[in-house]
Amino acid sequence: MQSGTCAQDTVTGAFEGTISDSQSGATLKGALVEIINQQTGVTISLRTDYRGRFFQGLLIPGIYRIRVSINGYQTKEVIQRLKITYTGEVVPVPVALDPGPAVLPPATAPPAPAVTDTDIRAGIITIDARRSGSFTEEELAALPLGAMTITRTFDELALLLPGVAPPPQTLGSVAGPGVGPGVGSAGQFAVNGLRSRGNNFTVDGSDNNDEDIGVRRQGFVMLIPQPIESVQEYQVITLLAPAQFGRNIGGQVNAVSKSGGSKVHGVFYGTFNSSQLNARNFFDTTFETATTTLRANNQDVLVQTRSPTGQVTSQQPLTVQNECGGEK
């Protein structure tokens, strides 16, 4: 009988680690490892092998609480976020246990490490030379969208990454529902100088490319796009993507939609765009901002022009350019 192995795809990831004694460094066999999804509450329990190692794959992106316990040692918890940046990879989560009674941490114990603390270690990609960036659901909700069009599309966040630029302007009035003018023929953005048609778009790991132009297909570029609030994470690999992505040599763009949680909640949002919030153009002189007479002690300051012999040939009030629409 042949045994099978579970491989990671472009959406799921994995945790592995070694459980050891914090004082001697010896590995601990048979330690109970509980991997708890903070959003759904689903718990996966497993035991470490004879080398003190554990592995769990096919995990959806999200925040996980990893609880480790064994007789004779204090129970320890670690919080780790699994991003789609790590999809197809194994995130190391080593845990060192302190000798003591095997009880849960009391309420007065120090809290588990913050997600941002554990992300520093896991965010360093050591197995390849890819260049990428990802945005969590908190960043998707907080970062401003709609700067280029009134349509809220998370693809606009790709322009915040190095090497990504808007598509070239298209002649005429051609425009699409995506990002910027000319989307109807030029695509949404260009990565490292390549054509926008070189980008590969996927949603939950499934193909989502428009076959004619470099844009996302389905609800994400329709006149009524999929809400930002339905996206768990958004990732763009701009250089040297792993082989499992394939297809195109441009940017590898992947969005993971939310899968629901154990609590009932809702979200509402509003957008407001106004030119009154924009910085004034330096060359804008429509609001009497051309020149203003400079006055001192209620008298105009005069500029005199003299001849080489010292005689006054002309004089006129000194004026200055107004920058903000008021007198100076």
At residue 183, does pLDDT exceed 60? no
Contact (CB, 8 A) for 150 and 176 = no
- As a whole number of angstroms, the distance between CA 221 and CA 149 comes to 12
The pLDDT > 90 percentage for the chain reads 21
pLDDT for residue 310: 66
Q: Which of 48-57, 62-71, 284-293 has the lowest mean pLDDT?
A: 284-293
Confidence of residue 26 (pLDDT cuts 50, 70, 90): very high
The per-residue pLDDT for range 136-179, each reduced to its tens digit, is: 888 888 888 776 656 677 888 898 999 998 876 655 555 444 44
Read off the pTM: 0.65
Candidate from 31-40, 90-99, 165-174 with smallest mean pLDDT: 165-174
Per residue in 65-88, is it b (16+ CB within 10 Å) or e — as a string? ebbbbbeebbbbbbbbbbbbbbbb
The rounded distance, in Å, linking the Cα atoms of 105 and 173 is 64
The residues, any chain, with a CB within 8 Å of residue 192's CB and separated by 6 or more, are: 163, 238, 239, 250
Alpha carbon distance 63, 13 (integer Å):
12
Report pLDDT digits (tens) over 96-151.
Answer: 999 987 555 555 455 556 665 566 655 666 677 788 888 888 888 888 877 665 66
**Cα radius of gyration (the chain):** 30
Domain with CATH 2.60.40.1120 in the chain: 13-122
13-122: CATH superfamily: Carboxypeptidase-like, regulatory domain (2.60.40.1120)
* Highest mean pLDDT out of 2-16, 47-61, 173-187, 210-224: 47-61
Closest C-alpha to 205, from 87, 122, 309, 293? 87
- Indicate the CATH number for domain 131-257: 2.170.130.10
- CATH 2.170.130.10 residue ranges for the chain: 131-257
Residue the block writes with tokens 């799921």: 12
